[in-house]
Amino acid sequence: MADVSIVVVSHSRQLGEGLVKLLRQLAPGVDLHQAAGLGEELGTDATAVAAALQQCPETNDILVFFDLGSAAMNAEMALELTPQSVAGRTHIVDAPLVEGAVAAAVAARSRLPVADVIQQAEAARTVPKILS
Amino acid sequence: MLTIESMQAFIEAYAARLEELCAVLDDLDNRIGDGDHGTNMARGFRTAADRTASGTFQDLGALCQTVAMALLSSVGGASGPLYATAFMRFAQSWNVCTHVDYAKLATGVAAALEGLRARGKAEVGEKTMIDVWTPAADAIAAHPDETGLREAVSRATNAALATRDIAATKGRAAYLGARSVGTCDPGSISSAMFFEELADAIAGGVTKTTWQTSAL
């Protein structure tokens, strides 16, 4: 079974780096990358996303998490810029950035199959955060 | 006829126009988005113009691909992948061509429109650049000649102004919904400028709209 890599795409470099730091603590050993910010400015860069995808180990499935709309667009664009051998293993996940990536990282650490990792990330959207 | 030289001239002219009207586009975007459309577009096309002016290109495919990659790494917002997608479709349509006639121009613009629709997942009437690119592509396809190109410019301009009355359902302005009515879509205005500059570079003599924030 293939391991899962996680790529965080954010408009903010600090947000991307901060989330990766959080994930690293919660799920040590999981392969993590970020493509966040446009230099020191806010923005996303499809070429940076493509570079991050290509840094993932070549046997891993890759899950991409993103913050706002155009980050998703640049993630899709990155798939066009990478070889099919990479793009074919990449899944852009429609989930809340922080909660989704956390759920995925924890599931990936447990080495769940990629479909289950994605499912847990997507389910993060409806998990209540304040328990009554 | 679109040549490597006229495409280079177009990219430079469009970059200069975006720099000139940067504040107008930022103002519009400030009202209904995140306020950086002019800044992003001017930065992106300046990067593209610098890279294309200094390079030599075998064909329009290579030139358009260079523009696409420059935009991707320098624009930042949604307009980066969108305009880059348009140029990637131009590159595919005009691969190995050193010049294209009006029929192939029409094919390229139609391919770019299809790319924009797929990338932005938008349809006509949602207050996006699709509202401008669609009538422009239709006009060139209906009359693949100089008249069709001039008609495309006029329809693009009218369509951009007409986005003022639409409530956004796509993009950052969708957060505002009905409150986006009364302001033109900045991406539609930059698209109308795109067709003005493209037509001027190809055919010359285009009367350019004086875009002023108060009228948009």
- Could you read off the pLDDT of A103-120 as tens digits, one per residue? 999 999 999 999 999 999
- pLDDT at position A1, please? 54
Q: Which CATH architecture has domain B2-215?
A: Alpha Horseshoe (1.25)
Partner-chain residue, chosen from A11, A45, A68, that has the shortest CB–CB distance to B72? A45
**Cβ-based burial of B212 (10 A; exposed 0-12, middle 13-18, buried ≥19):** exposed
Chain B residues within 8 Å of chain A (Cβ atoms): 40, 69, 72-78, 80-82, 84-85, 88, 119-120, 171-172
Q: Which CATH architecture has domain A4-126?
A: 3-Layer(aba) Sandwich (3.40)
Mutate to test the interface with B, among A70, A79, A81 (most CBs of B within 10 A): A70
Q: If you search the block for the tokens 């949604």, which residue do you land on?
A: B78
Q: Residues B24-46: what's their mean pLDDT?
A: 94
B213 vs B150, more confident: B150
Q: How far apart are CA A31 and CA A104, in angstroms?
A: 12
| Chain B: residue whose CA lies nearest to A48 | B73
What letter would DSSP give residue A94? -
Q: How far apart are CA B147 and CA B124, in angstroms?
A: 24
SS3 A69: helix
Per the annotation, the verdict on A11 as an active-site residue is yes
- Could you read off the pLDDT of B118-161 as tens digits, one per residue? 999 999 999 999 999 999 999 999 999 999 999 999 999 999 99
Partner-chain residue, chosen from A41, A46, A68, that has the shortest CB–CB distance to B72? A46
- Could you read off the pLDDT of B180-211 as tens digits, one per residue? 999 999 999 999 999 999 999 999 999 999 98
Split at pLDDT 50, 70, 90, the class of A91 is very high
Are B167 and B131 contacting, i.e. CB atoms less than 8 angstroms apart? no
Q: Does position B214 have pLDDT exceeding 90, yes or no?
A: no
Cα B175 from chain centre? 23
Q: Do A43 and B80 touch (CB under 8 A)?
A: yes
Catalytic annotation, pick one of A7, A11, A63, A90: A11
Are B187 and B171 contacting, i.e. CB atoms less than 8 angstroms apart? yes
Q: How far apart are CA A50 and CA A76, in angstroms?
A: 10
Q: If you search the block for the tokens 């938008």, which residue do you land on?
A: B122
Q: Where are the domains of chain A?
A: 4-126
